[in-house]
Structure 1
Amino acid sequence: MSKEFEIAREFEVDATPEQVWDAVTSGTGGWLWPMEAPEPRVGGKGPFGSEVTAWEPPHRYTNRVEDVEGISEQTLNQLDYTIEPRDEGRRAWVRYVHSGIFVDDWDNQYDAAGRHTDFYLHTLRQYLTRFAGRPVTAFATFEGPEASSAAGAFTAVARALGLADDTAEGARVRAEGPEGKPLDAVVDYRDPYFIGLRTDDALIRFFGRGHWGHPVGVSVHDFAPGADAAADEAAWKGWLNGVFSQP
């Protein structure tokens, strides 16, 4: 049965309204994933088949799509950003609202969307405060094998990275990356569902989606000069497959 939903979040960030606007409308994949930049006008084409319904740079941007991915004519998805200056424009206040209609399994979808929203917006703040002005050079995103959707699978990911159960956000770690290579990083996000690692040149995100019946996901936002998305994907996909191929 279809049912409406709304997920609203507010935060302040050490970035100008213009920087926030550029991050959410440029489509570079610096903080979320590469997407088609919206046509800069009301009625213009937005990403993933949406329509731009509000365009007031650098303060308001909304896109809306119905019949999401052909699932049902009852579905609806809307993303709304409101951006206001703080501290004479040196900082920004952001209100983000994801709303629409879910069809079937409403509670599970709502829980997943809310938790993913928190992680995505955290990644946006990391991008704005740590990598602002640096275009993403390479972006890779993929899922692990079916075995990674099992209960407790995400614990295996953390341990394969070399993180202790009590390694908390803010910790500097020497994680174990692809081919056993050490990875000097900061754990910028950690809860039972997600892990975020930040290096000098990348944001590496791990999604423990087994809680919602889906495989583990990984995304790599690489800002290093000359970075190769295919190489990043092959390296980290091999690492993730290795985690779940061990006896």
Structure 2
Amino acid sequence: MLSTGALRAHLLAARLAGPVATSRETSLRSYRLFAARDPRVMLGLAPERVWGEGELLRLMAERCGVSADPAQVSGPDAIDPERTVAALDAFAERLALVAERRAPVLLGTGHPHRLLGFYAGLADALSAAGCPVLTPAQGRCVDITTRFGVRTYSLDYVRGVALVREPGGRPTGGETGAHTHSPLPVRLALQDAAERLGVLPELVIGDHGWVCGAGQLGIEAIGPADTDDPALFVGEAEGRVSVVVPVDDGVRAPFYRPLTRYVLNRARLSP
């Protein structure tokens, strides 16, 4: 079993927490855009109240551990590993509860190149515990606005984890899907789950638009978020997202494996 101390050391060594690769400039830009309600950073969330840049910075300092000093405008941003560990403990509690009820779950990622393995390990464990791991709308197309214009993607599943693929054929082997912040894939999946399967997930596990899009529709959602993803933390503060784990979401995929082991051990779902 991975101890809390060993997890904390890994978070710092892998730069999942502590000084992270996400720059202060990138984070502050996201806060400015969110305050202006720019859809590129809202991730499908419609906040209940106005969030100014100063309030967002204070929220991110409280939930993530970034500096609350508005005069700090450059350099690497930072995540407090203690906040990451506490959030992973809360994340594990939600997994344990859904596993105890053998409730249906939906997992999806906009970061397949980095986080697919993290979610796939959770999907395997939840399925083994008797939770139906839903795969609605597989193969369906969704139009997503990108910086290159509107592009059509297809929804697919790898080891029970949803992702979107680029047009032009399905990759094989270890290849994964496209990076996206859009909430449209989870909306499509939830609509198909309700209409065709006649069941909705009790819990959505994911990132970006998968979490905010589900939470906005009233489905419980949990997942990781970086310092430049204020939407998830606002969703948590307003009660539409259950748990957000502050962590760099862009490091190498193998570095997330200890996080999977840790939460499964805490949730008593380890093989």
TM over 0.5: no
User: 1 or 2 for the larger relative contact order (CA 8 Å, sep ≥6)?
Assistant: 2
Q: TM-score, normalised by structure 2?
A: 0.29
Greater share of residues in strand: 1
Q: Which has the higher helix share?
A: 2
Larger Rg: 1
TM-score, normalisation: structure 1: 0.30
